[in-house]
C-alpha cells in the first residue's frame, strides 16, 4: 500500500496534477445532483454509513470507521454529538466490544474509543448514553486490571520518591561535608592567625638587648681621630666664615660655609657621644673643649647670619666678643639634641644601675671596698648590734703641722761620710725644715703626749718615726 501511494504521489508530481483523496470524492458526492439545495442530513447519513462499515465491513474498514467516528465526535460540534448515537449505532458498537469473533485490534480500539467518550462526557447529561457504553462493554477483569495498574503506578511513584529522597540525602551529605571542610579551614586559619599574634606579642615583650659596652682602650684611636676631625671642622668653618664678604654674599647661600657646617654637625655627634661615654680625665677635658670650640663656631655662624651684618661685626667676632642669643638657631637646635641625648644616656645608666643593684646583695651597700667580700659567719647576722667600723680620719688643713715633721732621713742617727751630699739631699726635700728649740721636760712630755695622740689617730703614720 505504501508503495502504491508513493507511486501515485510520484505520478501526480510528474504530471503536475493536484492530489485527489476521499475528501474530494466525498465533496463531489455531497455536491452531486442527488441532493437538494438546502439539504442538511449529514449527521444522520454519516451515522448510517459508519454503522454499515462497523457491521458488515472487514477489520480494516471497521478500524477506519472507528477512527473517523471518533474524529467526527471530537470536531463536529454539539449538533453531531447529540444526533449521531442512535440505537442502531450503539448496538453495532456494543457488538464489536463484546463479540468474541471481533478482531482483537478492532475490539481494543472500540474499548479505547468508548473509554475516551466516558471521560469526556461523563458530566454531560445529554451524552449519558454515549458515556454509559464504556461501563456496559468493558471486560470483566477491568477492575482487577485497573487495580493492578494503580498498584504499579503507586510502586513507580514510591520508587521515584525514594530515588528523589536518596538523591536529596546525597546532595545534603555533600553540602554538609563541604560546609564542614570550609569550617575546618576557617578554624585552621584562625589558629594560625592566633599563633602568629601570640608569637608577635611574645617577641615584642622580649627584653631589649643592651648595647655593646663601651671599651675605652679599644675606642681610644677613634676618640683621638674624632677630636682631630672636630677641631679641624670647627677651624675650617671659622676660616670659611672669615673669607665671606657679608656685604656682597650671604652665609646661608655660600656653598663652602654650608659644607663646613654639615661637617661640624656630623663631627659634633661623635664628640657628644664620647663625652657621655668616656670617663678618662685626660680625654674628657679635651672632648669638652672641642665641643665648646664647635659651639663657638656655630654661634659665630648664627651671629653673622643676621641681616645687615657689616665687616665690623666680623671683626668683633674674630676678636672673641660674646655671641648673640638667636632663637631657633643652629646652636639651639644642637643643644636641644645634646640635652635629649644626655637624658637618654642618664636613663640607660639608671637602668643599668638598677640591674646591678638587683644583682648585688643588699648587705654590701655602704661598706668599704676591702670589706665587701668578707664573711663573718653567724656574726654577720648580728651586725645590727655592732658598733660602726673604724674608718680612717679625713686629712684636713689643721693637720698640716702634723705632717711637716720631716722624713726618716731627718731623724736618722746615721752619719754619712759624705756630709755635703747628706746636707744637699736634706735641703732638696719638699717639706720645710723643722727648727728644734730647747724646751723643758714638762713641755717635752706634753708635746710627746700630744704627738702620741695624733699618732694614734693617724693609721697611716710612719711606724719608724720613733
DSSP state at residue 440: -
Residue 46 cell numbers, joined: 454519516
Whole-angstrom distance, CA of residue 240 vs CA of residue 258: 9
Q: Are 43 and 83 in contact (CB under 8 A)?
A: yes
- CATH number for the domain formed by residue range(s) 38-139: 1.25.40.90
Whole-angstrom distance, CA of residue 76 vs CA of residue 336: 116
Residue that is written with C-alpha cell 654637625 in the block = 265
Range list of H helices, 57-141: 59-75, 77-83, 87-98, 104-121, 128-137
Which class for 263: exposed (0-12), middle (13-18), buried (19 or more C-beta within 10 A)? middle
Q: Are 323 and 293 in contact (CB under 8 A)?
A: no
Residue 241 cell numbers, joined: 666664615
Residue 458 dihedral angles phi and psi, to the nearest 5°: -95, 105
Domain ranges of the chain: 38-139, 217-357
Q: Report CA 392 to chain centroid distance, whole Å.
A: 67
Task: Tally helices (H) and strands (E) across the chain.
Answer: 17, 0
DSSP state at residue 418: -
DSSP per-residue codes, 177-209: HHHHHHHHHHHHHHHHHHHHHHHHHHHHHSPPP
Residue 331 cell numbers, joined: 646652636
DSSP per-residue codes, 220-254: HHHHHHHHHHHHHHHHHHHHHHHHS-TTT--TTT-
Cα Rg of the chain, angstroms: 69
CB atoms within 10 A of CB 150: 10
The pTM of this model reads 0.28
Whole-angstrom distance, CA of residue 82 vs CA of residue 126: 7
| Distance between first and last Cα of the chain | 170
Nearest to 344 by CA among 268, 263, 277: 277
Whole-angstrom distance, CA of residue 391 vs CA of residue 368: 9
CB atoms within 10 A of CB 272: 19
Q: What pLDDT tens digit does each residue of the chain (466 aa) get?
A: 556 666 666 666 555 566 677 777 777 776 777 666 656 567 777 888 888 888 888 989 889 888 888 888 888 877 777 777 788 888 888 888 888 888 888 888 888 888 888 888 888 888 878 888 877 777 655 566 677 778 888 899 999 999 999 999 999 999 999 999 999 999 999 999 998 888 888 777 655 556 677 777 888 888 888 888 888 888 888 888 888 877 777 777 888 888 888 888 888 888 888 888 888 777 788 888 888 988 988 888 888 777 555 556 656 655 664 443 433 445 556 567 667 777 777 777 777 666 555 554 444 445 555 555 555 554 444 555 556 666 665 555 555 554 455 554 455 454 444 445 444 444 444 444 444 444 444 554 444 544 544 444 454 445 555 4
DSSP state at residue 378: G
Amino acid at each position: 500500500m505504501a508503495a502504491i501511494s508513493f507511486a501515485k504521489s510520484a505520478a501526480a508530481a510528474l504530471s503536475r496534477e493536484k492530489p485527489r483523496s476521499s475528501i474530494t470524492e466525498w465533496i463531489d458526492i455531497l455536491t452531486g445532483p442527488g441532493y437538494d439545495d438546502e439539504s442538511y442530513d449529514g449527521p444522520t447519513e454519516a451515522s448510517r454509513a459508519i454503522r454499515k462499515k462497523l457491521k458488515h465491513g472487514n477489520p480494516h474498514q471497521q478500524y477506519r470507521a472507528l477512527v473517523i467516528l471518533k474524529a467526527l465526535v471530537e470536531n463536529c460540534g454539539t449538533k453531531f454529538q447529540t444526533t449521531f448515537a442512535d440505537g442502531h449505532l450503539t448496538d453495532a458498537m456494543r457488538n464489536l466490544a463484546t463479540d468474541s469473533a471481533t478482531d482483537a485490534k478492532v475490539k481494543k480500539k472500540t474499548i479505547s474509543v468508548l473509554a475516551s467518550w466516558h471521560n469526556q462526557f461523563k458530566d454531560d447529561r445529554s451524552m449519558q448514553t454515549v458515556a454509559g457504553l464504556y461501563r456496559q462493554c468493558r471486560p470483566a477483569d477491568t477492575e482487577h486490571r485497573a487495580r493492578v495498574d494503580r498498584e504499579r503506578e503507586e510502586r513507580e511513584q514510591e520508587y521515584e520518591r525514594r530515588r528523589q529522597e536518596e538523591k536529596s540525602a546525597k546532595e545534603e551529605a555533600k553540602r554538609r561535608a563541604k560546609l564542614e571542610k570550609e569550617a575546618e579551614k576557617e578554624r585552621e586559619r584562625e589558629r594560625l592567625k592566633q599563633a602568629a599574634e601570640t608569637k608577635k606579642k611574645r617577641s615584642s615583650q622580649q627584653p631589649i638587648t643592651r648595647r655593646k659596652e663601651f671599651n675605652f682602650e679599644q675606642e681610644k684611636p677613634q676618640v683621638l681621630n674624632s677630636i682631630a676631625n672636630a677641631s679641624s671642622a670647627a677651624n675650617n668653618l671659622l676660616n670659611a666664615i672669615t673669607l665671606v664678604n657679608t656685604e656682597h654674599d650671604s652665609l646661608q647661600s655660600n656653598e663652602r660655609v654650608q659644607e663646613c657646617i654639615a661637617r661640624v654637625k656630623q663631627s659634633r655627634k661623635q664628640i657628644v657621644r664620647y663625652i657621655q661615654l668616656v670617663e678618662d680625665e685626660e680625654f674628657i677635658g679635651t672632648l669638652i673643649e672641642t665641643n665648646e670650640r664647635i659651639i663657638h663656631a656655630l654661634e659665630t655662624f648664627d651671629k653673622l647670619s643676621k641681616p645687615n651684618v657689616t665687616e665690623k661685626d666680623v671683626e668683633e667676632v674674630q676678636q672673641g666678643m660674646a655671641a648673640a642669643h638667636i632663637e631657633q638657631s643652629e646652636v639651639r637646635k644642637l643643644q636641644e639634641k645634646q640635652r635629649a641625648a644626655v637624658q637618654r644616656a642618664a636613663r640607660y645608666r639608671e637602668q643599668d644601675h638598677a640591674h646591678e643593684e638587683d644583682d648585688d646583695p643588699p648587705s654590701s651597700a655602704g661598706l668599704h671596698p676591702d670589706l665587701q667580700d668578707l664573711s663573718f659567719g653567724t656574726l654577720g647576722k648580728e651586725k645590727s648590734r655592732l658598733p660602726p667600723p673604724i674608718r680612717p680620719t679625713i686629712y684636713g688643713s689643721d693637720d698640716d703641722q702634723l705632717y711637716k715633721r720631716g722624713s726618716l732621713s731627718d731623724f736618722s742617727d746615721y752619719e754619712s761620710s759624705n756630709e755635703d751630699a747628706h746636707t744637699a739631699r736634706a735641703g732638696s726635700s719638699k717639706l720645710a725644715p723643722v727648727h728644734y728649740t730647747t724646751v723643758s721636760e714638762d713641755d717635752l712630755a706634753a708635746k710627746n703626749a700630744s704627738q702620741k695622740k695624733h699618732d694614734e689617730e693617724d693609721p697611716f703614720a710612719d711606724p719608724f718615726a720613733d
